[in-house]
Amino acid sequence: MDIMFFSSAIEFGVIFLFGCVGEILTEKSGHLNLGIPGIMCMGAAGGCFGAKLYLMPTDNPNGFVTILMAILFAMLFAAALGAVYAFLTVSLRMNQNVTGLACTIFGVGFTSFFLNTIVLTEGVSTKLSYAGQNFFNAALPGAESTGWFGTIFLDHGTLVYLAIIIAVLAALMLRYTKIGLNLRAVGESPATADAVGINVTRYKYSFIILGAAIAGLGGLCCIMDFNLGNVDANVSQTIQGIGWLSIALVIFTMWKPALAIVGSIVFGALYILSSRITMISFEQIQLLNLIPFIVTVIVLIATSMIGHRETQPPASLGLSYFREDR
């Protein structure tokens, strides 16, 4: 039971991890993207659409191609909404909070509409849940023979490993490469970065769109990996809640993708806690659901009280950059 719990915590946590790493990259470029919940929903819509495109005409679907199609379309849809956000906030310099909220409203509405009317035509949901169970959740070899080690480390779908690889790559990129250094400079002080000759606009666009694409995988992961391909009617509402928590997780992990791996598993454990504890009443479940949010608030307060420089957001987070403003 405990090992199973830990294993599901990892599986649920990576949904947060996708959203969180995507938002970290966006925030490092100086943009607070409150559209992440909507963007994650778009990823879910796109992923299901991509999987449908391949699965419906094919009789004997190949697992690898299915996953590839789903990932491709999830990233494409999410990146599209990310590009709208980037255009409005970078090029048109509009308020980031307002634009982000509009993205969320659009993304959640669009996904719920798109999934119900366009993706879920006849026969799609059985194929999707078949793909979810057999392709997305295919365990690595040796998962069953190695006992607890296998259950925790090997018994996951492809997206779980992808999430961790992306988080590690993002951490290395931010810490050790020139691109990462430039990106952090853009987020801290775009005017200085501009003076040094860094193309601020290009960096902002690239990383907002890349961040959105990564976050979009979170939505795909929620439906295909954790829900085993079952698309229920309220899925966009669920993903929206996860999306807000992913944004909170960015603060929880102090803008460090490597820490986000641990943080997301903790969040995953807190989030699924209420459904894993047996022998409690329905009203107690509601109280258990509060825990991740309360923990976030406490961490938020604690990090702000410590007020260490390393734990602070990028200095120009939320401010539009206009070269001619001095």
Partner 1 sequence: MERIKEPLLHITRRDGMPLWKSMLIRAGAVLIALVISSIFISAAAPNSQGFFGFFGSFFSGSFGTMRRLSQLLRETSMLLLVALALVIAFKMKFWNLGGNGQILMGCLASAMCLVYLGGRIPNGVLWLIMFVVSILAGAIWALLPALFKAFFNTNESLFTLMMNYIAMYLVAFFITHWYPQGSGAMPSMSEYALIVKFSDPSNTSIWGKTIPVVLAAVLVTIFIYCYLRYHKHGFEISIVGESVNTARYAGINVKKVIIRTLILSGALCGLVGFLLVATVNQMITTTMDGNMGFTGIIVAWMGKFDPLVMIGVSLFVNFLTRGMSQVCIDFGFTSEALSDTVVGLIYFFLIGCEFFISYKLHFSKGRAKKDRPDFMDPAPKPPEITDTTAQTQQENTPDAAEETA
66/240 with CB nearer partner 1: 240
Interface with partner 1 (CB under 8 A), residue from 116, 177, 192, 275: 116
**Minimal distance, residue 320 CB to partner 1, in Å:** 10
Interface with partner 1 (CB under 8 A), residue from 48, 51, 70, 88: 88
Asked if 102 interacts with partner 1 (CB under 8 A), we say yes
DSSP 256: -
Asked if 202 interacts with partner 1 (CB under 8 A), we say no
List CB contacts of 119: < 8 A, sequence separation 6 or more.
45, 48, 49, 52, 231
How far CA 124 is from CA of 66, 78, 221, in Å, comes to 14, 22, 18
How far CA 119 is from CA of 45, 48, 56, 160, 227, in Å, comes to 8, 7, 11, 24, 17
126/286 with CB nearer partner 1: 286
Largest interatomic CA distance in the chain = 64
Q: What are the two backbone dihedrals, phi and then psi, of residue 258, each rounded to the nearest 5 degrees?
A: -70, -40
Instruction: End-to-end CA distance of the chain: give it in Å, rounded.
Output: 60
Q: Tokens 């803008």 correspond to what residue?
A: 255
What are the structure tokens assigned to 281, written together?
């009443």
Interacting span for partner 1 (CB under 8 A) from 139-147, 154-162, 212-220, 278-286: 278-286
Span 23-62, contacts to partner 1 by CB under 8 A? 32, 34
The C-alpha atoms of residue 77 and residue 52 are separated, in whole angstroms, by: 14
| Contact pattern for partner 1 over residues 297 through 326, marking x by CB under 8 A | x--xx--xx-x-----x--------x-xx-
Interacting span for partner 1 (CB under 8 A) from 100-108, 168-176, 213-221, 264-272: 100-108
**Minimal distance, residue 2 CB to partner 1, in Å:** 26
Residue type, 246: S
What are the structure tokens assigned to 248, written together?
């909170």
230/289 with CB nearer partner 1: 289
Asked if 277 interacts with partner 1 (CB under 8 A), we say no
Q: Tokens 């080690």 correspond to what residue?
A: 149
Sites of contact with partner 1 (CB under 8 A): 32, 34, 84, 87-88, 91-95, 97-99, 101-113, 116-117, 236, 241, 244, 247-248, 251, 281-283, 286-287, 289-290, 293-294, 296-297, 300-301, 304-305, 307, 313, 322, 324-325
